[in-house]
Structure 1
């Protein structure tokens, strides 16, 4: 089970300042590792989708969006991922009906929705090599959450940025940042899931920023995916909302904005759901994210619904990425 983020990450109080020396050490070690790591170049281009902070920022919907855009442009993409929450030793391909307990929740969701090969493994270059061995027709690889895995050479870097996840703006362990804000000025594109402060825009510099929001309108029954229900049909109704994602608040807010009366049930990111998690004293429809639905389908009650969403990303983002692919590799 993923741990909850420490409360002190949200502000620069005494705990954060006491941990500041460890943050400096973490930053120095991270810079040293990046300088000394020799990236492995693959025979096909690699697009990394990641972030600079701990926690969810909406990377999975962006990967889904990107795979669709690449396929529309004539590419044959594949995806590599870590497989958080899974038990894969080494590397493994993820079937469309894969087991989230084995392969991880996000890879199973991607394998079931992207209609492209997905391979998981802690060693990202090894996962990418396995993907190309199994699917030699693949001509571009999308690395899900691969920003800090510098052993995997990359041609395009995309940061999915949710300003709410940046907290106090300090590096681990004093704050939630895996890399300093200055790293944003080195990527090829920033996809922003929320408004940017002037300070954040200054840190990004001249890198193009594309706004994103998640859009959905229909629910899908977990027990019978062919059965759908318009979200509008539950306006004014009380519902149980479950979310084991990086920012459950965003899911709850989206449902409330649609007019639902939401009984909130937040869980840690990558939570390993059990049947008891779906039992409530008050009878009401149960709604959850697509990422959580892949783990609950086997034991979901009848009135349990998935709310799939799609990333809506500002115009020009796909063209920017395709242009970077066309014009060749970025320096290692």
Structure 2
């Protein structure tokens, strides 16, 4: 087990030995507060885009469901003829940056999540650590009404008009400690300054979402093959919170699978997909965008690789809240918009 996986497991279990990181947590918190103060004093400056910016992020390390939420919102806004674009850090991508992401972009260059977002929506998208340059690149190519920033809640160099903070109640806030003693990027009080979307199967608030899995599809082989949930699978996954994927498999009636976890945004190699027998593999769409190039490079790969697509299902209050927020920003929307 890698050091990163060891700490992730300790976070999830709220292990008591994490207290040894408390001095580092104080340093992390102090550094973050100092950086925030420098922006407040104008010593550091923030960029304000010429059109509204909406950030979708979280205050925790690891997966919260924000990427499926972003994909769903993009598709929804496109159905309302809102001209939306997306920017992202492009984590895991090698650049060069800023990079424009089209449907043929390789995850190795732009990152796995950007590749998945564009393949799922066709949205105009640019990635890079400098969000201003990414926005400028987008606006050179497209006339847009709204820019959604994937993650970047803590990126103070970018001003934003809307913040949606995804809170996964399955993980919660852990021990409520700042990195690295806990998995919080910011204190839980940060939740008071944005629109919190509760990610939960049994929600406690009006603003909530959950992920619904669709029928798995085959990444390789004959597309006419039918999915057999009774098979024994290798569950290969490199996401922030693998347990959510395992729960999804169990909810789909898949009971026999061996877990093979990799770090979030893992750069797959063909050896990661090789096992002693010919049992099928099952994975997420985020992982699939990195696995597919390997299959093209290794056409002799005969193992079935199944992909589980998921969609974010939002409460009615999420749509009405979004509608009111965008109207207040002057973004044209059809009157009487409904779900």
Q: TM-score when scaled to structure 1?
A: 0.87
How many residues are aligned here? Answer: 315
The structure-2 alpha-carbon separation of the partners of 1:3 and 1:20, relative to structure 1 and needing over 3 Å to count, comes to closer
In structure 1, the residue matched to 2:315 is: 314
2:154 to 131, 137, 148: 148
CA distance in 2, matches of 1:22, 1:283: 46
1:42 to 43, 49, 53: 49
In structure 2, the residue matched to 1:177 is: 184
Q: What's the offset of the Cα at 1:131?
A: 1.1
CA distance in 1, matches of 2:86, 2:318: 19
Q: 5+ residue gaps in structure 2? A: 40-44, 296-300, 331-339
Q: What's the offset of the Cα at 1:210?
A: 2.2
Contact 2:98 2:127 in 1 (8 A): yes
The structure-2 alpha-carbon separation of the partners of 1:56 and 1:323, relative to structure 1 and needing over 3 Å to count, comes to same
Q: Does 1:277 align with 2:277?
A: no
In the TM superposition, 1:31-70 aligns within 5 A as 31-37=33-39, 38-70=45-77
Q: Does 1:74 align with 2:81?
A: yes
The structure-2 alpha-carbon separation of the partners of 1:189 and 1:72, relative to structure 1 and needing over 3 Å to count, comes to farther
The structure-2 alpha-carbon separation of the partners of 1:14 and 1:263, relative to structure 1 and needing over 3 Å to count, comes to closer
1:16 to 15, 18, 32: 18
Q: Does 1:158 align with 2:167?
A: no
Give the alignment's Cα RMSD to 1 decimal.
2.3
Q: Does 1:104 align with 2:100?
A: no
Q: What's the offset of the Cα at 1:19?
A: 2.5
CA distance in 1, matches of 2:229, 2:13: 36
Q: Does 1:227 align with 2:223?
A: yes
In structure 1, the residue matched to 2:197 is: 190
In structure 1, the residue matched to 2:135 is: 128
1:85-131 per-position Cα deviation (integer Å, ceiling 9, x unaligned): 11113311012121111111001111111111110001112211211
Secondary structure in 2 matching 1:166: coil
Q: TM-score when scaled to structure 2?
A: 0.86
